[in-house]
């Protein structure tokens, strides 16, 4: 019994010691004090973790490469858009060239249209020229101009297809095939006939009629002035007022010489080839006025104040008509 009891006590003491040691180890393990102090395992684990981090980098690098690749794709895409945008302006820039290349086509169309209009005008002009009245040649006298014959196959320098108003047409009669001392051109005027235009007056005549609505009044005044100038240098004998004659009208206001563009001097005591009357103008003298032109003359002279410039132009026009023989018209010989 004693030996058995000693054995049991020894066994119990050993078991108790083992239990105490185990409990101490568990507490220290929970506190972590043993492994941190050892240093061998913790650095190893830390080193292992640090080693794993680089192992993860390739995965992160691949992700970065993917992101970079996608970014590169995104970067290239705008480049393509920019390139496309640049191409569009190039196309737009090409548009003016295309438009410029097409302009000759449009211009050609306009030229064709203009050519058609000119051709139509030429046809109309030829038709008009073929139906204009033509006067036979009439010889003149020292004081009266004759009428010249229309040349065969005449090509007028100017053809006016729009006729003057009916009331204005007779005022062109003095210039139909009129003889001039200086060179002249031919002009065909619808409703009138073939006019002769002095070369020195042609540009001014053209300026009068070069419009959609020609200023034929301007043309008549210009040709009348040309007729008066054509007589310059020709001696004129004054015709004093007979004692038995009376004034048709006596003006009370003298004209202002500075404002006069037309001179009354050629008409003072003038003996006309047609019937005329006497008019007294202060500071001018006894002016003679053709009977057929008196009403127009007085319409200006009788104003308040008198329009002497317009009245004088009436006498210049009367001079052109008084110094040319009457025309003998035949229709349809102008072609």
Nearest-Å Rg of the Cα atoms of the chain is 60
Neighbours of 125 (CB within 10 A): 18
How long a stretch of residues is the chain?
A: 335
Max distance between CA atoms of the chain, in angstroms, equals 208
User: Does residue 84 or residue 292 have the better pLDDT?
Assistant: 292
User: Does residue 60 or residue 270 have the better pLDDT?
Assistant: 270
User: Does residue 103 or residue 163 have the better pLDDT?
Assistant: 163
Distance CA 139, CA 202 (A): 25
Contact 184, 229 (CB under 8 A): no
The values of phi and psi at residue 93, to 5°, are: -65, -30
User: Does residue 223 or residue 18 have the better pLDDT?
Assistant: 223
pLDDT band for position 36 (50/70/90)? Answer: very low
User: Does residue 154 or residue 46 have the better pLDDT?
Assistant: 154
- Average pLDDT for the chain: 75
**Helix ranges, the chain (H):** 2-31, 33-38, 41-129, 202-209, 216-230, 294-301, 308-322
Average confidence (pLDDT) over 257-285: 91
- pTM of the predicted model over 0.85: no
Distance CA 173, CA 175 (A): 5
pLDDT band for position 256 (50/70/90)? Answer: confident
Grouping H, G, I as helix, E, B as strand and the rest as coil, residue 159 is strand
Domain ranges of the chain: 133-234, 247-322
Question: What is the reported pLDDT for 87?
Answer: 47
List Cα–Cα distances, 11 to 5, 15, 24, 77, 224, in angstroms.
10, 6, 20, 85, 166
pLDDT, tens digit, for every residue of 47-73?
Answer: 333 334 444 444 444 444 444 444 444
Average confidence (pLDDT) over 168-193: 96
pLDDT band for position 91 (50/70/90)? Answer: very low
Average confidence (pLDDT) over 23-36: 43
List Cα–Cα distances, 182 to 185, 210, 294, 335, in angstroms.
10, 24, 31, 25
Average confidence (pLDDT) over 35-58: 39
Average confidence (pLDDT) over 193-216: 97
Q: What percent of the chain has pLDDT over 90?
A: 51
Closest CA to 160 of 186, 187, 178, 135: 187
pLDDT value at 222 more than 70: yes
Average confidence (pLDDT) over 241-257: 94
């Amino acid at each position: 019994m004693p030996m058995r009891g000693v054995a049991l006590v020894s066994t119990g003491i050993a078991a108790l010691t083992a239990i105490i040691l185990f409990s101490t180890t568990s507490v220290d393990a929970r506190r972590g004090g043993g492994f941190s102090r050892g240093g061998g395992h913790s650095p190893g684990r830390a080193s292992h973790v640090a080693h794993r981090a680089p192992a993860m980098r390739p995965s992160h690098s691949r992700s970065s490469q993917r992101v970079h690749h996608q970014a590169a794709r995104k970067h290239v895409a705008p480049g393509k858009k920019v390139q496309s945008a640049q191409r569009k302006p190039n196309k737009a820039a090409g548009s003016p060239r295309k438009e410029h290349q097409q302009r000759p086509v449009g211009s050609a169309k306009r030229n064709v249209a203009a050519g058609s209009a000119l051709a139509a005008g030429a046809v109309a002009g030829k038709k008009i020229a073929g139906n204009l009245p033509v006067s036979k040649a009439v010889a003149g006298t020292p004081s009266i101009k004759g009428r010249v014959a229309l040349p065969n196959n005449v090509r007028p320098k100017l053809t006016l297809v729009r006729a003057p108003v009916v009331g204005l047409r007779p005022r062109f009669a003095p210039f139909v095939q009129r003889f001039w001392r200086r060179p002249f051109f031919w002009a065909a005027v619808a409703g009138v006939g073939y006019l002769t235009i002095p070369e020195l007056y042609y540009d001014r005549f053209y300026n009068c009629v070069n419009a959609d609505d020609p200023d034929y009044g301007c043309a008549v005044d210009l040709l009348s002035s040309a007729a008066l100038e054509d007589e310059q240098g020709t001696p004129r004998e004054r015709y004093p007022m007979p004692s038995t004659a009376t004034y048709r009208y006596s003006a009370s206001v003298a004209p202002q010489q500075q404002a006069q563009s037309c001179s009354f001097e050629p008409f003072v005591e003038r003996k006309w080839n047609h019937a005329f009357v006497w008019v007294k103008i202060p500071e001018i003298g006894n002016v003679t006025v053709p009977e057929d032109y008196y009403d127009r003359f007085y319409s200006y002279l009788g104003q308040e104040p008198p329009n002497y410039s317009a009245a004088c132009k009436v006498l210049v026009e009367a001079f052109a008509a008084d110094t040319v023989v009457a025309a003998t018209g035949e229709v349809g010989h102008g072609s």
